[in-house]
Amino acid sequence: MKYVSMGAMGLALALAVPVANAQPKEDWKALLEKRTFKSGGAELPYRLLKPAGYDPKKSYPLVVFLHGAGERGSDNEAQIRHGVREFASAKHRKQYPCFLIAPQCPAKRGWAGSEPERLVLELIPALQKEFSIDAKRIYVTGLSMGGYGTWNLIGRRPELFAAAVPICGGGNEKMAEKMAKVPIWAFHGDKDTAVPVDRSRKMIAAIEKAGGKPKYTEYKGVGHDSWTRAYGDAKMFAWMFAQKKE
């Protein structure tokens, strides 16, 4: 058996040759443009995902994504830590082309009934003027604190949203009658110690009592991190993007 020495130069050239089947990984975060919305002396940092191959002659859905308490701040980065990556995946961008906004709530603030919530509601029509957004297909979803924000938004503006997906959150049961006509699919883990599962159960029960027909998925043995399974559910995506206001 003979051994052939490549030498330093030969080895360097061999290592420099790219593997034929290697594919560069897509930088999904780079797909989300960093922006700031200003109104009434206040500012709201947010990320914007545009539809793949955006055509202004067509109209596209808009997804409003509300993050949890751990992602508050002003870096315009932390709020896309959970959930957003699923919407930005090549598969979902091809299957469900849409606009997505992920605003960032300031530290020590919340979504429900706050100035950041006001800015989110003002940002939506501002984007409708800038881009071709289907007013009949505006969706809102959020996790934990964002789940609370999701419930509150459809209570305040039920006519605006075609569907809502609140995850491990809770809301005001007295607003159930206003929410009853909005298609809702809520998710929660039954072992959640951060936001008790009873918060979602009570909201679902209140909406059903008000005549609504919400969907509800409760994960057995799952703690606060129920968003991983919810946003990883292909059926959830199919359901949400199928909803359209009459």
What pLDDT is stored for residue 35 in this prediction?
98
Residue 55: CB atoms within 10 A of its CB come to 10
Name every residue whose Cβ is closer than 8 Å to that of residue 187 and which is 6 or more positions away in sequence. 165, 166, 167, 168, 200, 216, 217, 218, 219, 226, 227, 229, 230, 236
Q: Which residues contact 183 (CB under 8 A, 6 or more apart)?
A: 162, 163, 164, 214, 243
Per-residue pLDDT of the chain (246 residues; tens, 9 = 90+): 443 444 444 444 444 444 444 444 559 999 999 999 999 999 999 999 999 999 999 999 999 999 999 999 999 999 999 999 999 999 999 999 999 999 999 999 999 999 999 999 999 999 999 999 999 999 999 999 999 999 999 999 999 999 999 999 999 999 999 999 999 999 999 999 999 999 999 999 999 999 999 999 999 999 999 999 999 999 999 999 999 998
d(CA 121, CA 115): 10
* Whole-number pLDDT of residue 26: 56
Q: What is the pTM of this model?
A: 0.89
Give the number of other CB atoms < 10 A from CB of residue 227: 23
The DSSP H or E segment spanning 187 is: strand 185-189
What pairs with residue 218 in β-bridges? 188
Q: Which two tokens stand for residue 106?
A: 């300031």
Burial grade of 145 (CB within 10 A; 0-12, 13-18, 19 or more): buried
Alpha carbon 66 to its chain's center: 6
191 beta partners: none
